Amino acid sequence: MLKSINHIGIAVKDLDVSSALFSKIFKVDNMHFETVVEQKVKVASFKIGDVLIELTAPTDDSSPIAKFIEKKGEGIHHIAFESDNVNEELNELSEQGIQLINNQAQPGAHDMLIAFLHPKSTNGVLMELCQNK
């Protein structure tokens, strides 16, 4: 079952510049930084209330984030919803006719399992499902 919004993903070209900007806006002293090799991204994240904000920059031109920025520019990329079991959710949603980008969960930032739903099936909103390992 989907439980809550876990994070909002924001696509950025330059993680250093963007993390400095968001630190200034939200008065964030320390951000969590990591690279997710499987997704070809670098991430800087911080919490506002109970919601994580995830700044995501490509590490490679073939990264989905690089393609997104090339097509749409920097900005909100996705909304992530927390699940108890991502693979179970994917199976149920697929049976209901929701188009999936990922058929199985894969490694993501913050040591989570993640998968994306195709925006063609979700009114143009890229949705990520995530689960703590």
DSSP annotation of 126? -
Domain that holds residue 36: 2-132
- Series of mean pLDDT values for 10-residue runs along the chain (133 residues): 92 97 94 94 94 96 95 97 96 97 95 96 96 91
What is the pLDDT at residue 50? Answer: 87
CB 78 within 8 A of CB 10: no
Number of domain units in the chain = 1
CB 54 within 8 A of CB 102: no
How many residues are given for the chain? 133
